[in-house]
Chain A
């Protein structure tokens, strides 16, 4: 069965600090996709990134970067020079192709950026 673990329930940092959100996943499938979604106080989940299991390249998008390591089953998310607008709940999620074929979310990490 698939499982996504976000061990950090809440993180609070001061603006401009770098912060890393951890995500560890479990799946028996060799083909799967990993996602990060952001949920601001307004409620909607905003898609941030998708990574497939065959692509271990790290990705950088502005202040956001993602580190995918199959060897440790981790897909961590780093925000550089955090801003107050980054405050939100962040969800890591997994979908496999051959298993349940539905998006499995981690429990989420509530990130608070203080001015």
Chain B
């Protein structure tokens, strides 16, 4: 079993809905990440939280709103999404709170597959 748990596994939403993706890890990792992955493409970084503070935002549209309530939890709030936002959303965590450290090995969850109608 993966040590990074993501819920829900599948989500279908309309363009006017508000929904959230959740991610949880209990490995004591201090950095958490959201990635977006379109079909047949590599993951693309969206956000990084380091020590529960947002440290990287890759110019993601405001309809995606991350939240890190504590060191174990990471949420991604979704509002007014577009069909092109349909993708696999992957959460990851790493032991070091320094995302740029090459020593960081990211542990990924299984992802939440989002479909926007």
Contacts and interface: CB of A to CB of B under 8 A. Distances in A.
Pairing of A with B: yes
Interface of A: 31-33, 35, 37, 42-47, 50, 52, 91, 95-97, 100-103, 105-108, 110
A50 B42 contact: no
Nearest to A35: B105
A47 B105 contact: yes
B42 A91 contact: yes
Given A45-B90, A47-B107, A101 B42 contact: no
Contacts of A45: 43, 90, 92, 106, 108
Nearest to A44: B110
B103 interface: yes
B22 interface: no
Number of chain B interface residues as a range? 20 to 34
Interface string B37-48: 000111101001
A44 B35 CA distance: 11
Given A43-B88, A47-B106, A95 B100 contact: yes
A52 B41 contact: no
Contacts of B40: 108, 110
Given A31-B102, A95-B102, A96-B102, A107 B107 contact: no
A93 to B, nearest CB: 8
B107 to A, nearest CB: 7
Given A33-B103, A101-B100, A44 B2 contact: yes
A102 B94 CA distance: 12
A43 B105 contact: no
Nearest to A94: B102
Nearest to B48: A102
Which of A35, A105, A110 has most B Cβ within 10 Å?
A105
A102 B108 contact: no
A32 B102 CA distance: 7
B99 interface: yes
